[in-house]
Chain A
């Protein structure tokens, strides 16, 4: 039996997760800068809770960057005014249900942080609801649902200034910076953000408006830039969709996957009461990964 190669590229899971952690630092810093002590508390509580959950599930003390990433991503998707205990519940859901229900790291179908965020939204809708929209049943807290006046904000103000919504939206340019770091180190497939954002842009122009859009946020119609920058799309495209465990195996499969996520995101944004469909888009695309893999492998196996 051949012993296999004796040399290795040196690119290991640990290294991948470590650089991803570094890439998230600008986002975290920006969100703390904007929201102060409240945001800091959320991060600390979330990280502590995730590692406690890991200890309970694995029965040993571990330090893994993947767990740290889940904890930070979870907080980045929370609204800034969320109470501290929400990150405890979020950590329990992410690690317990998102990861160990499926058999642990590497076996999870869904991105643990996204699954946890969606469950939180179902369990505690009040936290994710902007007060002024409750009467309409429009829950959520992003620029996509908030009336910001008749005029569309400028690109620089969109990129640099804080918009109400999740912590990741504190300064969208930091999300972009993190994404560029991931792309430069080739930690993520460039196809995923490209095709995801392209699908969103295209659909924002092509999709006909609904009562929801026309009634509250008419400027969203046919405005790709706002759809890319203002919602959770940037964080989703670089950090959530690209999670290797819950995305397809082959590069062609990842293109299909990104497009599917984009379509779901836009349908939810336009035609459902939920303000931002990015999280749902990720989950639905995650669920389709086994199917995508199956058909893509059949296609690609025609090498012979």
Chain B
């Protein structure tokens, strides 16, 4: 049983969404550089992390506006503040040598846009020799088509971005990974194995076998940072689901609230059962006030027919979860017999998707995983 693709928006061109009146930037772990009442320009630095070793994050304002509130984890900005400048690049591009690319990347605050949100300049430091840079375009989550559209409409930017990444790590080969028809093939370890034939051991990263995997939109952000001196303040997301009247691929400022996006896309509140931020397999439930982050690939509003019901019926040992598991684990029974297998699980959700008993397998596994970790810590 395959995970459906549901790529309804493959042919919808990227549109810019109407600018929101206010946004909320998530600044967890960073120190805000603004106070309430400050007027900020598009691209100006809002928050920055303390520099520990090489780790540094910086967060920029996507538009001109006024700061309305600042807390330890969020900064709210109200838009259309009349006295603000129209745009501002707060740093200068310095060149396209490896060091300079990393520097631009650091200054622009680029993070992994596939969801993990690791600062990209860290990934561009070659701790081990890297010969291949792989751009992940699998976009395995159902519904999501934003990466596909970006590649379709901006192939030149992706190519340039890829070359920058190759220069930064000193790689000879760059590859835009071909689309593979399998839901779990987007997972880095499998992608590297399937495209390059290099097996990545468990608990290792692709860099250990000389491959750097980057998300497609991250590569584009790298291009913007180096050649256009633009910090990471916007991304393309897919908006879809049967409760959306105008689904499509939209360019949205990071920090835009889900409520604004739904409003712009014709959200039917009456038939909407579940709002999801990210994909339907590994995404999170959201409400109108949840802001978009750099790692958000989509906003979905599903009707009750589209949404899975969790019933927790007895396991009938049909084995479908095992067939669905990309790692060959036994997802339905793993929580009963805790073992190191639990740590290998990547919570991709394929098991729960196929489970006829509609059991909350992912939740059970995560609970068992936490218990197992605590137990092994105390030993």
Q: Which residues of A contact B (CB under 8 A)?
A: 1-9, 11-13, 15-16, 104-107, 189, 244-245, 247-251, 254, 297, 300-301, 303-304
- Contact A7 B328, beta carbon cutoff 8 Å: no
Q: Known: A8-B308, A297-B330, A304-B202. Is A244-B1 also a contact (CB below 8 A)?
A: no
- Contact A301 B285, beta carbon cutoff 8 Å: no
- Contact B281 A7, beta carbon cutoff 8 Å: yes
A250 to B320, CA, bound (A): 9
Residues of A within 8 A of B363 (CB): 1, 3-4
How many whole Å from B140's CB to the nearest CB in chain A?
12
- Contact B319 A250, beta carbon cutoff 8 Å: yes
How many whole Å from A5's CB to the nearest CB in chain B?
4
Q: Known: A7-B307, A7-B308. Is A303-B328 also a contact (CB below 8 A)?
A: yes
- Contact B322 A106, beta carbon cutoff 8 Å: no
Apart from the given pairs A7-B302, A248-B319, 10 other A-B contacts in the complex at a CB distance below 8 Å: A4-B349, A4-B352, A8-B358, A9-B353, A11-B356, A12-B358, A13-B313, A15-B356, A189-B319, A304-B202
Residues of B within 8 A of A297 (CB): 330
How many whole Å from B119's CB to the nearest CB in chain A?
23
Residues of B within 8 A of A251 (CB): 319, 323
The 4 closest A-B pairs by CB, nearest first: A106-B314, A4-B362, A8-B308, A5-B349
B167 contacts A by Cβ under 8 Å: no
- Beta-carbon contacts under 8 Å, B182-207 to A: 201-202
Q: How many A-B residue contacts, CB cutoff 8 Å?
A: 113
How many whole Å from B87's CB to the nearest CB in chain A?
38
CB-contact partner of B319 in A2, A13, A249, A304, under 8 A = A249
Q: Which residue of B is nearest A244, CB measured?
A: B318
- Contact A7 B142, beta carbon cutoff 8 Å: yes
Interface string of B326-370 (1 = CB under 8 A from A): 011110010000000100100101101111111011110010000
A184 to B333, CA, bound (A): 28
Residues of A within 8 A of B118 (CB): none
Residues of A within 8 A of B323 (CB): 251
- Contact B349 A107, beta carbon cutoff 8 Å: no
- Contact A5 B284, beta carbon cutoff 8 Å: no
* Tally of chain B residues near chain A (CB < 8 A): 53
Residues of A within 8 A of B315 (CB): 106
Residues of A within 8 A of B347 (CB): 2, 4
Interface string of B261-290 (1 = CB under 8 A from A): 000000000000010100011111100000
Residues of A within 8 A of B355 (CB): 8
20 contacts between A and B (CB under 8 A): A2-B282, A2-B284, A3-B285, A4-B349, A5-B281, A5-B308, A5-B349, A5-B353, A8-B309, A9-B1, A9-B353, A12-B356, A13-B316, A13-B358, A16-B318, A106-B314, A106-B315, A244-B319, A245-B316, A250-B322
A2 to B316, CA, bound (A): 24
Residues of A within 8 A of B302 (CB): 6-7
How many whole Å from B53's CB to the nearest CB in chain A?
29
B306 contacts A by Cβ under 8 Å: yes
Q: Known: A1-B363, A5-B308. Is A304-B353 also a contact (CB below 8 A)?
A: no
B317 contacts A by Cβ under 8 Å: yes
Specify the main secondary structure of chain A where it touches its partner. loop
- Contact B282 A7, beta carbon cutoff 8 Å: no
How many whole Å from A195's CB to the nearest CB in chain B?
15
Residues of B within 8 A of A189 (CB): 319
How many whole Å from A1's CB to the nearest CB in chain B?
5
How many whole Å from B355's CB to the nearest CB in chain A?
8
Interface string of B1-12 (1 = CB under 8 A from A): 100100000000
- Contact A5 B280, beta carbon cutoff 8 Å: yes
A303 to B344, CA, bound (A): 11
CB-contact partner of A7 in B322, B353, B356, B366, under 8 A = B353
Which among A13, A104, A244, A300 has the greatest number of chain B C-beta atoms within 10 A? Answer: A13
A303 to B355, CA, bound (A): 22
Residues of B within 8 A of A1 (CB): 363, 366
Residues of A within 8 A of B314 (CB): 104-107
- Contact B142 A16, beta carbon cutoff 8 Å: no
A244 to B357, CA, bound (A): 12
Interface string of B282-302 (1 = CB under 8 A from A): 111100000000000000101
A7 to B302, CA, bound (A): 9
A249 to B320, CA, bound (A): 8
How many whole Å from B335's CB to the nearest CB in chain A?
13
A247 to B309, CA, bound (A): 26
- Contact A11 B1, beta carbon cutoff 8 Å: yes
Q: Known: A106-B315, A244-B317, A247-B317. Is A13-B356 also a contact (CB below 8 A)?
A: yes
A51 to B337, CA, bound (A): 34
CB-contact partner of B328 in A9, A16, A247, A301, under 8 A = A301
How many whole Å from B373's CB to the nearest CB in chain A?
13
- Contact A6 B280, beta carbon cutoff 8 Å: yes
Residues of B within 8 A of A8 (CB): 308-309, 352-353, 355, 358
How many whole Å from B278's CB to the nearest CB in chain A?
10
- Contact B330 A2, beta carbon cutoff 8 Å: no
Residues of B within 8 A of A12 (CB): 311, 356-358
A105 to B316, CA, bound (A): 8
